[in-house]
Amino acid sequence: DIVMTQSPVSLAVSLGERATINCKSSQSVLYNSNNKDYLAWYQQKPGQPPKLLIYWASTRESGVPDRFSGSGSETDFTLTISSLQAEDVALYYCQQYSRTPFTFGPGTKVDIK
């Protein structure tokens, strides 16, 4: 199985400041045949299911604010919230879908400082 790790476990950022979450996979999730990284990011708020933010490592899902961006390739990825808003307080997960079993990271909690 591909193991996903995330850092930090939690972070607190001032409103309007940048938040950066890292994700690492135990194997490359890059498919050379189409040059795509099979990596997604989700946001989860209490009592709700996860919400897809980013797929293909850097493609923003429709309706997701452009302050959310994804980067990275192969085994190292980053989710950046460029200017943290109060509504961004949540848990964030990365997930690989390059091969089954699809696996998630343990999550990163983002709070307001």
Partner 1 sequence: QVQLQQSGPGLVKPSQTLSLTCAISGDTVSSNSAAWNWIRQSPSRGLEWLGRTYYRSKWYTDYAVSLRRRISINTDTAKNQFSLQLNSVTPEDTAIYYCARALVGAFVDWGQGTLVTVSS
Residue choice 20, 78, 107, 109 for contact with partner 1 (CB under 8 A): 107
> Are 74 and 26 within 8 A, CB to CB?
no
> Residues binding partner 1: what is the number (CB under 8 A)?
21
Q: Which is nearer to partner 1, 42 or 88 (CB)?
A: 42
Distance CA 47, CA 30 (A): 33
Q: Which is nearer to partner 1, 33 or 100 (CB)?
A: 100
3-state helix, strand and coil shares in percent for the chain, rounded to the nearest 5: 5, 50, 45
> Are 37 and 77 within 8 A, CB to CB?
yes
Binding to partner 1 (CB under 8 A) within 2-61 occurs at 38, 40, 42, 49-52, 55-56, 61
> Are 41 and 94 within 8 A, CB to CB?
yes
Q: Which residues bind partner 1 (CB under 8 A)?
A: 38, 40, 42, 49-52, 55-56, 61, 93, 95, 97-98, 100-104, 106-107
